[in-house]
Each structure stands twice: as structure tokens, then as C-alpha cells.
Amino acid sequence: MGFHDLDLTERLLIARRGTAFFAQRLTEFTDSQLNSDTLLRGWTRKHLLAHLGYNAVALCRLLDWAATGVETPMYQSAEHRDNEITDGAMLSAAALRNLFDHTVARLDQKWRHLPPMSWEAGVRTAQGRVVPAAETVWMRTREVWIHAVDLDSGAQFGDFPSVVLESLLSDIVAAWRRNGRGAGLVLEVTGAAPVHVDGVARTGTVQGALAAVVRWAAGRGAVDVTLRGRDPQPPRWL
């Protein structure tokens, strides 16, 4: 059972739980600790907060697009998105905490008011894929749960609901396949059928519990996984 098999209400609940999980980690940092590095190279916690704030705004644009039919892309360009984060990271800690809270509320309000018909309306992700507006719930869910770990707050993949872990793994494998990466790689998750990334002969195996394999596949480190026949770096995902 994956995230997409759940009712919309349940999916929204998991997104909101992820937001609360992230927000809770945030309350544990002092303002000056927001200047510290995250687990993402070159990004401080302030960069991450700016990114999540502007990501919510970008998802609001997709929901406006779905509601009105007037095309409003997530971001004008990749460069614009990056500049927004760089500039945002220079804001004060108070301003960034505010940005996070405010944009979370705005996104939630858009979800609550989206007309039932509009959830299936097609919108385009930053990677250029056309998806139904309902996909914004999953897009946000991924962001808040994974970035809570990136904050270097002690949060772990093992804290995620298992349905999130399972859907993350499907997403990552689908992205590898779409982009022709990970040929010959087999993922062996404890208690599940092995996942062959593509049909060619096996060149490497990654084995472990679901949370550890997802962590590795998402590029967040090879911890508690057994790697055979391949280097520790996973294929690129996003």
C-alpha cells in the first residue's frame, strides 16, 4: 500500500504530521543555531527554511493553476528558485520562522479551499512532469519529512510513517528508471520482494531495513545497509 492509495483526507493528514514533525525540530534550535550547517552541502538551516517556505508558495501557485486554469508555474526558472533561497537565507531567524509558519498556513488554506473538481486538474512540477493537483500533497510530504532529517536535528528516516518510506522508494526507483540510472542495481528490503531497478544483469545489491535503504537511495548516507558490488553513492534521484 502506497501513499497514493490512501484517501485524500489521510494523505493531507500525513503531510500535516510531517509539517508538525519539522516544526517541532525547529523549536529545538536557538536562533543562532539556525546559522549552522545542514546535512545538505552548502546549505545552512536558514537556507533550508527559506527553501521550505518558498516551496509552499510554489505549491500554492500550482493549486491556483488547478483552481483557475490559468498557468502559474512553480518557479520562473531554476535560477530564480536558487536566488530566492540564497536571498531568503540572509533574512533574520525570526523572519524565517515567520516565513515558514505563514507559508504553511497559506498552503493549508489552498488545500482546504480547492474545489473537488480541481484536484485532478493537470499541473506541471519543477522537473517538467504533468501531474494532477492532488500530487502537491505528496510533493510537500516528501519535502517536510526528508528535510526534517536534513536539519541535522536527530530526526531519522525511521521516524517516518512506513507508507511514506514505501512511496519514497517507489518514487526514487521510478525516477532512476525514467532517467536511465541505476542499471543492474537490486534493492533488497527486509521482508519485501527484491526490487530490480531494470532488467539487465545484476551489478550491485543494497540490502537493509526499509528506512535504511530509503535513506541510502535518497542520497542521505549508507548507514545500516549492506552494499555489494557497488560504490556507496546511489544514482542521482532529483
Question: By CB neighbour count within 10 A (0-12 exposed, 13-18 middle, 19+ buried), where does 104 fall?
Answer: buried
Query: Given the complex with Zn ion, which of 49 and 185 has the nearer CB atom?
Result: 49
Q: What is the nearest approach in angstroms of Zn ion to the Cβ of residue 51? A: 6
Measured distance CA(61)–CA(34) in Å, rounded:
27
Q: Which stretch binds Zn ion (CB under 5 A): 38-46, 130-138, 142-150, 168-176?
A: 142-150
Site for Zn ion in 187-206 (CB under 5 A): none
Query: Given the complex with Zn ion, which of 45 and 208 has the nearer CB atom?
Result: 45
b vs e for 9-35, b when ≥16 Cβ sit within 10 Å of the residue's Cβ? Answer: eebbebbbbbbebbeebbeebeeeebe
Q: What is the nearest approach in angstroms of Zn ion to the Cβ of residue 147? A: 6
Measured distance CA(50)–CA(43) in Å, rounded:
10
Query: Given the complex with Zn ion, which of 126 and 227 has the nearer CB atom?
Result: 126
Q: What is the nearest approach in angstroms of Zn ion to the Cβ of residue 179? A: 18
Q: What is the nearest approach in angstroms of Zn ion to the Cβ of residue 134? A: 19
Q: Which stretch binds Zn ion (CB under 5 A): 135-143, 156-164, 180-188, 202-210?
A: 135-143
Start-to-end C-alpha separation, the chain: 23
Provide the CA 70 distance to its chain's centre, in angstroms.
Answer: 26
- Binding site residues, Zn ion, CB under 5 A: 143
